[in-house]
């Protein structure tokens, strides 16, 4: 975010349908221990991966000095991901609303077993 007027529409360079992907290692944060002492990635960690992937994909498209900040998130954590396993996070910009200065993105987190989580996020500029 910046102190400049919102009328310059910093989101104009972000296209609906824009997709970005990143790879992370599960368990970088404090892993949760479940049955039989197995350590898995906690839900907040997967949300962090989704948020950071949106940030990493979108911010380079914005004018210098502009940033985004999350204002809403919905997450469905579907399956455990063992700590140390690689996860792939794919995001797609679903909507760019210049009037509100917000973008809406969807995200999918996949590990070796398939889809571990899905989410929908809104960010303001």
Residue 2 has pLDDT above 70, yes or no: no
More confident residue, 118 or 44: 118
Q: Which CATH architecture has domain 16-124?
A: Roll (3.10)
21-74: pLDDT as tens digits = 999 999 887 777 776 778 889 899 999 999 999 999 999 999 999 999 999 999
Q: Are strands 32-33 and 39-40 parallel, antiparallel or unpaired?
A: antiparallel
* DSSP per-residue codes, 18-60: -EEEEEEETTSS-PEE-GGG-EE--HHHHHHHHHHHHHHHHGG
Q: What is the pTM of this model?
A: 0.87
Q: How many CA atoms lie within 13 A of 92 on its CB side?
A: 5
Segments making up each domain of the chain, as ranges: 16-124
Please, what is the average pLDDT of the chain? 91
Confidence (pLDDT) at 1: 46
């Amino acid at each position: 975010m910046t102190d400049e007027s919102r009328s310059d529409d910093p989101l104009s360079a972000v296209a609906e349908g824009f997709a970005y992907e990143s790879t992370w290692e599960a368990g970088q944060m404090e892993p949760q221990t479940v049955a039989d002492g197995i350590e898995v990635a906690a839900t907040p960690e997967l949300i962090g991966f989704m948020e950071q992937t949106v940030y990493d994909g979108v911010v380079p498209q914005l004018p210098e000095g502009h940033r985004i900040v999350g204002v809403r998130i919905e997450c469905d954590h579907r399956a455990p991901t063992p700590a140390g396993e690689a996860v792939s996070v794919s995001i797609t910009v679903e909507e760019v609303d210049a009037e509100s200065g917000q973008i809406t993105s969807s995200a999918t987190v996949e590990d070796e077993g398939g889809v571990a989580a899905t989410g929908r996020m809104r960010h303001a500029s």
